[in-house]
Amino acid sequence: MTTPRIHFVASQVTPAGEAARVMQSRYGQFPPEEAEIIVALGGDGFMLRTLHRFIESGLPVFGMKIGNVGFLMNRYSEDDLVMRLAAAREVCLNPLCMKVQTKSGSSAEALAINEISLLRQTNQAAHLRILVNGATKVEELVCDGVLLATAAGSTAYNLSAHGSILPLGTEALALTPISPFRPRRWRGAILPASVKVRIEVLDSDKRSVSATADAHEVRNVISVDAYEDKETELKLLFDPDHSLEERILNEQFL
């Protein structure tokens, strides 16, 4: 079986760097522009950074867990990597696009694989207006924040905020408030993946809010537009007995 052209990347923790050196000596190391597959060694945080780093390359990414959290990762082993890559199942994901306007008049844009979140910056609760496809759905949400999560990200921050878990392939997004105060009965919504969500910050001079797309943060925002970017596709590889779909499904029974 022919060894594919692999580019190994590793997180900054010592065990990951040591594992990368072992794997490179065994399977070779190609520069990204010549590689066919990216193999990421680390945890989920590093996997997200790797996906963002190589998002324009179109290369599939196979992660191996060396760290504390590895929901997006496969088990680590030095053996049989070529066979595992050949047998791996591919999962394709579309990220969210975040477009932000700030109080200073500047704008910013970023992609999110897990979620887009808005969070209060001070001790003052955020006051937010939520629109879906141009129609106001929540006139004034008093809260610590709100987030919009993909299916892949629904088991991360979204789950911690008591949002719904979304199985892969559902073509849906989870809109989840963070510590909501009013309206008291609203606990979020499941939206079609085709929607466009707009979140406006009310009383932004007094109640400052930041917006993040995964790890990319913009402060002092006045509005955020979010939607699924169908033009961008991320490819993740998983061992057949360690599928992402199964893990997301199982999270609902823990």
| Phi and psi torsions of 250, nearest 5° | -65, -30
Q: Of the listed 44, 79, 203, 229, which one is catalytic?
A: 44
Classify residue 115 as exposed, middle or buried by CB count within 10 Å of its CB (0-12, 13-18, 19+). buried
Beta bridge partners of 130: 138, 199
Please say if 44 is a catalytic residue: yes
Distance from C-alpha of 52 to C-alpha of 62, rounded to nearest angstrom: 14
**From CA 254, how far away is CA 246, in angstroms rounded?**
13
Long-range pairs of 32-37 with CB within 8 A, sequence gap ≥ 24: 32/7, 32/57, 32/59, 34/5, 35/5, 35/6, 35/7, 35/59, 36/4, 36/5, 36/6, 37/4, 37/5, 37/6, 37/7, 37/61, 37/62, 37/85, 37/237
With CA atoms as reference, report the closest residue to 13 among 39, 46, 38, 37. 46
Active site positions, annotated: 44
